[in-house]
Structure 1
Amino acid sequence: MLQAEAAAPTSGTYFDSALQTYAIRLLPADYVATDLPLALVTLLGSCVAACLYDPGVAVGGMNHFMLPGGDDGDATSARYGANAMELLINDLLKRGARRSRLQAKVFGGGNVLSGFHSDPIGTRNARFVLDYLHAENIPVRAQDLGDIHARKVGFFPQTGRTLVKRLPSTRDDAIVVAERQLYGRLARAPATGSVELF
């Protein structure tokens, strides 16, 4: 375990007092793959985080995606699950992981936004990540998906150890406000690619 006084192992890290280790915080549309002895931490509402790791080489990573699929014209964006999964897997493979040894733990997909009763975003995100991992033959070793709770996730990529804290269910907390703003920006974003209007 690293001491608080020790130098951070890489730029962009902070010392997480709850986890008692250095950590990297992921925001929506982020992904990180690493072999460093630190934690990857994120807060999830209706978004999903897939934590993938290869125990054979002690490398792992996490993504944080907002929607299951779509095309924002940028294949390097981890906003959508399809991109986020491919980007994370490819980065892990570059770091020595083998696809055949990858294991997954998945979290989030809470239906924290009120007013979405028919096929809510959280449910779609949770369904997507499980379907994707099944299709890729990556076993899911743990999951905490759905319900109405936001979650804080701490993932240790070298070992696959994961800590999840369910946050009190409230429809007006900071996570819900932030998600409403993010989804509002997505709805207003201009469409890319060829579109024929009639």
Structure 2
Amino acid sequence: MMNDKNLATNCYYDRYFDTQAVKVLPGQYFATHENTMIVTVLGSCVSVCLRDRLSGIGGLNHFMLPRDSSAELNSPIAASGRYGLYAMELLVNHLLKLGACRSRLEAKVFGGGQVLKHMNFVNVGQRNVKFVMEHLRNELIPVLGKDVLDIYPRKVYFFPQSGKVMLKKIHSLHNTTIIDREKAYMHEIETQPVAGEIDLF
């Protein structure tokens, strides 16, 4: 069963791109079979753009692994690994529900920037990227492109039907919205357990 509380609901019309759009915030995801642009802004978090290469059904998630000092990331019982798996399967399951075929999924990966300065000691961005790349490799989902790590936040525009991604690196922050949002998200995922179980296909 889907966990709809994680489904992005911030829909709007983007005049610049002349298209319907959905903004995905930290902890959310969105999947669609329609001609909709999916937008997110990443700091230390990562997003995976997933798409069925034949049908054009696609989606994007936005997540961060919590700090996990109890186990190594590659341990199957690591809390952070469970969280990452949950975030990935929420997106995959919704794509399959819309009619995507798992064997035709392809990915593009973004984020993992070192923007949360006080969290450098846990390598938040690096751990997020490492998890995502290992997970996609294990699931036999090819990664067609990526832009990860570095020190800059990124704004991602994903067009699922064509598979096109437009990326803007944010070299100068005019306010602390991105960092504040990720700090609040980090606190939330470290104080609340992953909600419920999901059925894996």
Report the TM-score when normalising by structure 1.
Answer: 0.79
Per-residue CA deviations over 1:115-174 (Å, capped at 9, x if unaligned) read 233341111101111010000000000101101110110101111111110001559732
Identity %: 45
Retained in 1: the 8 A contact 2:27–2:185? no
Inter-partner Cα distance in structure 2 for 1:144 and 1:32: 20
Match of 2:32 among 34, 44, 53: 34
Partner AA of 1:167 in structure 2: I
Retained in 1: the 8 A contact 2:109–2:148? yes
Partner AA of 1:128 in structure 2: F
Matched, 1:167 2:176: no
Matched, 1:177 2:180: yes
Inter-partner Cα distance in structure 2 for 1:55 and 1:137: 14
Inter-partner Cα distance in structure 1 for 2:86 and 2:13: 29
Inter-partner Cα distance in structure 2 for 1:45 and 1:105: 16
Inter-partner Cα distance in structure 1 for 2:31 and 2:144: 18
Inter-partner Cα distance in structure 2 for 1:23 and 1:31: 13
Retained in 2: the 8 A contact 1:112–1:169? no
Partner AA of 1:81 in structure 2: G
Task: Give 1:133's aligned residue.
Answer: 136
Report the TM-score when normalising by structure 2.
Answer: 0.78
Retained in 1: the 8 A contact 2:10–2:24? no
Match of 1:147 among 136, 145, 150: 150
Q: Secondary structure at the match of 2:178?
A: helix
Partner AA of 2:121 in structure 1: S
Retained in 2: the 8 A contact 1:112–1:171? no
Q: CA RMSD in A?
A: 2.4
Task: Mark the runs of 5 or more structure 2 residues left unpaired by the alignment.
Answer: 1-8, 67-77, 195-201
Retained in 2: the 8 A contact 1:148–1:169? no
Partner AA of 2:153 in structure 1: A
Q: CA deviation at 1:190?
A: 5.6
Inter-partner Cα distance in structure 1 for 2:171 and 2:112: 15
Inter-partner Cα distance in structure 2 for 1:70 and 1:63: 19
Task: Give 2:161's aligned residue.
Answer: 158
Task: Give 1:85's aligned residue.
Answer: 88
Match of 1:66 among 61, 64, 67: 64
- For residues 114-125 of structure 1, the aligned pairs below 5 Å read 114-125=117-128
Inter-partner Cα distance in structure 2 for 1:127 and 1:170: 26
Task: Give 1:20's aligned residue.
Answer: 18
Partner AA of 1:88 in structure 2: L
Inter-partner Cα distance in structure 1 for 2:62 and 2:193: 22
Task: Name which one, 1 or 2, has greater alpha-carbon Rg.
Answer: 1
Aligned length: 175
Task: Mark the runs of 5 or more structure 1 residues left unpaired by the alignment.
Answer: 1-10, 193-198
Partner AA of 2:168 in structure 1: K
Inter-partner Cα distance in structure 2 for 1:28 and 1:178: 8
